[in-house]
Chain A
Amino acid sequence: MTTTADEKNLASNDANDHLVPTPRTILGPYFTLGMGLRSAVEPGDDRTPFTVTGRVLNGLGQPAAMSMIETNQPEGWTRTFTGPDGAFEFTTVKPKALPGRAPHLALLVTVGSFMIRPAVTFLYFPDEANDTDELLAQLSPEQRATMLARATDGGYELDIHLAGESETTFLGWPGLLDDEE
């Protein structure tokens, strides 16, 4: 990898004018104390709330208990935790579609015992025009399939596979790892 003069300059000036990032640590097993506080989705209209259920599983299909699931959408956010069976549930409304995008929820998944940053994926709905979505267009059909929820009686369902055959597609962005040393 090439290093530009500017990058070298920044790295060498850490002690002077470039602040070195604080290291990340795990959530730990007791994070629900602080992290379980208020969260809300406020659609501001009469959209009908529904429930999203699913499980967080490892590569052998075993449950990832005490994982934190956070959801983001323009209307707000939710935060919930998996039980001993890896299951989670949250209530929200379908987000409005943004230009060039199909409606979707962002999911941030953090396994409390060992993860230092959330793994990010998106949940798309089976009853929307997903082929118009700019992000999905960058993915293979197999990758897209891991983000597509199934309809249930009360809403939708999507499992998160941390590893294995059906591993969920996790997203990154430029600069994601810039704080690693």
Chain B
Amino acid sequence: MHLAEQEGTRVREYTEPWWVKLPEGFSTPNFDTTIWSPRKPLVIVQSRLIDASAPVYGYGTPEPGDNDLTAQHAGVPLGEHITVHGRVTDSWGRPARDMLVEIWQANAAGKYVHDHDPTPKPHDPNFTGAGRTLTDADGWYTFRTIKPGSYPWWKDREAWRAQHIHFGLTGRGLTERYVTQMQFPGDPLIERDPVVSTIPDAKARERLICQLDWEAAIPGITIGYRFDIVLGGMNATPEH
């Protein structure tokens, strides 16, 4: 049962099946969904017909150090050094093991190493902002990185992107593909963050905020945060 069916077209606009739509009041043109979004119904086929096409040997093995974004250059990057760890599970708490976890983020000034980033902020020669790792047998991942800076949303006065780290997860099957992002606790920009605002449910938005976690901290070196990810839509049947 989907809320889209319960609440009619409002939720359908946001999420069914692929597209988000910005709420009113942000200064970017919405995509016209009649032009950009498929209009024909999805063709539903058995999962085995889809997943048979997945790679036999998975998605490659990250190299040692790929999960340490502070050690990819000769020098040490600027910013608050942090450890981010967490557990990836399905809705029944079963670990998603051997899942490829990729993150990408801005530097401490809020600047991406990317041609498309127009903000007048400095690059950090010691920070690229991309890492990857595999979850272990219990679904755990760990990254060492820096806390990213905020960055502006177009020329809006009141809308900035809250400090955030993007997450991309890839599992064994084609159907296991998940993209989300993590915000930090206490950030006052979250409330007017345009991307967070595309999620209609307030409780759901809270689940994108990590928690301070001293268990993950390296004394004298990093602040620790925990961000668990619960995957949905891929395991229709609980294990008994």
Contact = CB atoms under 8 A, between A and B. Distances in A.
A135 B112 CA distance: 42
A90 B13 CA distance: 33
A172 B20 contact: no
Contacts of B43: 138-139, 143, 169-172
B117 interface: yes
A139 B230 CA distance: 33
Given A20-B230, A171-B50, A179-B232, A30 B104 contact: yes
A164 B36 CA distance: 9
B53 to A, nearest CB: 4
B96 to A, nearest CB: 12
A128 to B, nearest CB: 14
B177 to A, nearest CB: 6
A111 B37 CA distance: 10
A102 to B, nearest CB: 12
Interface stretch (A45-53, A73-81, A149-157): A73-81
B52 A22 contact: no
Interface bracket on B: 35 or more
Nearest to A64: B36
Contacts, number: 253
Contacts of B177: 70, 108, 117-118
Given A30-B112, A72-B54, A177 B38 contact: no
Nearest to A143: B43
B35 A115 contact: no
Nearest to A175: B236
Contacts of A19: 89-93, 230
A154 B206 CA distance: 49
A23 B199 contact: yes
Interface of A: 1, 3, 7, 10-11, 17-35, 37-40, 42, 58-60, 62, 64, 66, 70, 72-77, 95, 98, 101, 104-106, 108, 110-111, 113-120, 122, 134-135, 138-139, 143, 162-164, 167-181
